[in-house]
Amino acid sequence: MKDKRKTVKARKKTAKNALARVNQAETLLTGSSAPGTGTRTLEQSIGIQIRHFRKQLGLTVAELAGTAGLSTGMLSKIENGQISPSLTTLQVLARRLNLPMTSLFTAFEEKRDCSFVASGQGVVIERRGTKVGHQYRLLGHSLAGDLVVEPYLITLTEDAVPYTAFQHEGVEFIYMLSGEVIYAHADRTYRLRAGDAMLFDSSAPHGPMELVSKPMRYLSVITFLRA
């Protein structure tokens, strides 16, 4: 009987410890300072869409509210997801925004995108003006949203030559994998070896100034706002 009670007690303790681990796991965060996404309600998603399309048309809250026959306060509450608007109200707002009403629901229904590229399967990018010996292999792509993220595996081969006039919108992150290069950004230079990293405003002229040890490979992640 004692052994049976001990077994039951041990099982309860095991279950309690497992639950504690689950609860602890639920509170773990990444090292990023990015705010959590949380779960949006339908009302919040509709409000986000209305605000987005209103701003695209250059309308103020008062202007859209006036054409839709709503008070400014009512429209403000709708945009902030504080109330659930009627279908009639949504129809009127969609008409004033020159949209099909279904467009107001897309933020709630959209799937979170994910791009997977198997080892060695990245797309080799050949663009007009690509420098000889500079090979760009695209490792993924963003499918939707306002932010475009382009991760590249860049290889500078034996026939590569220096080029410091790369210049484009956005922010670029470089992580050196192999080789050695002196990399220029604006009016400064940096010696990069395996394990070194750079993050910079890519609207300034930049690129490899001196190819110290070839071939070399580095990861380049470029982010910019979708046009």
Instruction: Check residue 79 and give its pLDDT.
Output: 92
Count of domains for the chain: 2
**Per-residue pLDDT, 31:** 66
| Average pLDDT of the segment spanning 54-58 | 90
**Does a structural domain hold residue 194?**
yes
- 128-137, 174-183, 212-221: least confident range: 128-137
Does some domain include residue 20? no
- Residues β-bridged to residue 188: 185
Residues 171 and 146 in one domain: yes
Containing structural domain, residue 165: 123-225
Question: In CATH, what number is assigned to the domain containing residue 209?
Answer: 2.60.120.10
218 and 173 in a single domain? The answer is: yes
Tell if the pTM clears 0.85, that is, is over it.
no
Average pLDDT over residues 14-23: 51
Dist CA 215 CA 171 (whole Å): 25
3-state helix, strand, coil in the chain (%, to 5): 35, 30, 40
**Cβ 103 vs Cβ 45: under 8 Å:** no
* Length reported for the chain: 227
Q: Are residues 209 and 175 in the same domain?
A: yes
